[in-house]
Structure 1
Amino acid sequence: MRSEQILVVDDEKRIVENISLFLKREGFQTTGAYDGDEAVRIFKQQRFDLVLLDVSMPGMNGYETMEHIFDIDEDAMVIIITGNASVESAIRALKIGAWDYLKKPFEYADLIKTVKNALFQKELVADKKAVSARLEASERQYEYMVNNSPDLIFTLDKNGCFTFMNHQFEKVLGFSRKDLIGTGFKNILHEGDISKASAL
């Protein structure tokens, strides 16, 4: 059984029940809400992988509800359900942050396809963030090891100018990193050693 949680929001109970039935047949877990206020209240209490949100509801409409949802979770995945699929309504929904929209009445197959595509996209984004986080942690570890190494570590560009030096380099040789970055390696050598360095 799938573990994805989907919040279905529509002021028509029949629509909420039908959509929930279709989704449950595919193994999704669903929760229903019948107005914007209820949807926001439920969303505060529980995180959902996806929100199916009707635009035209009494009180707080779908656009306003979506804004509140993004205030709670900026990474929320929302699909708008609308009976008025005009260019203007679609643009407004996408500008707020909707991933896609469905026009009523829609086919069961279109609903499931759109939901699965949205969840797949959400998974890709989550995987990318996880990889970035691991890479960042690895870079921090590498930087720590280099800067705390007892060895003198430095890098030069193709012109022989310093681009990096670790703390030990500064400590042992007595040079300031900010003074040497961008200057030539030869500048720190004694005159008699320059010819030796040029031969390297």
Structure 2
Amino acid sequence: MTRALATPVSPVHSPSFRRLAWGLLAASWVCALVSLVFSLARWAAIGHETGWGGWMPLTVVPTQALLVGLTPPQSMETQWRWVGVALECIPALAMLYAVLCVHRICRAFLAGAVFGPVVVRGFRGVGWGFLAMFATSLVYQVGVTALLSWLASGQQGGLIALGVGSFEMSVLVVGLMMLLLAHVLAEGCRLQAEADAFV
């Protein structure tokens, strides 16, 4: 009497792997949207003594401005709020690009394609997205400190602050790691294609 051997389930198709992929997909979008909403809402709160509608405190002032001892202006005209929103959009675009690349990676994972050109391009895009976040963070620092200091001085002068902290260094390291991982995956795909062609 023979017994049929059960076909082993690939880890790629296991429920735990799919849950992780869905979790990463959802978490990346939630974090990006929450960060974007908070970043944009802060410019509606800056310049109000008790925050926006009484529920948002003055701690919404960008960290870069607080680190150099800037106090928010007592009031802010609408056009300068829109300038602040435009400044927030600079790093936000890089962040959304990285999230879109994570989205493509997760969708490929859920389709069972852990290795392939789509995943390679996805990891490469995440790497460049993080490097763009590093660069745009520096631009954002210069812009937000210049704007708030100029407004706080009554448009009589201002200062520009630029620094590299733990966030910038972490983003830089992760971006370089993602580019390295993309290179390794691309080489693995090339070797697999050569092996398939030889067989």
Give TM class, smaller chain: under 0.3
Task: Tell me the TM-score normalised to structure 2 length.
Answer: 0.27
**Larger relative helix fraction:** 2
Task: Tell me the TM-score normalised to structure 1 length.
Answer: 0.27
**Larger relative strand fraction:** 1
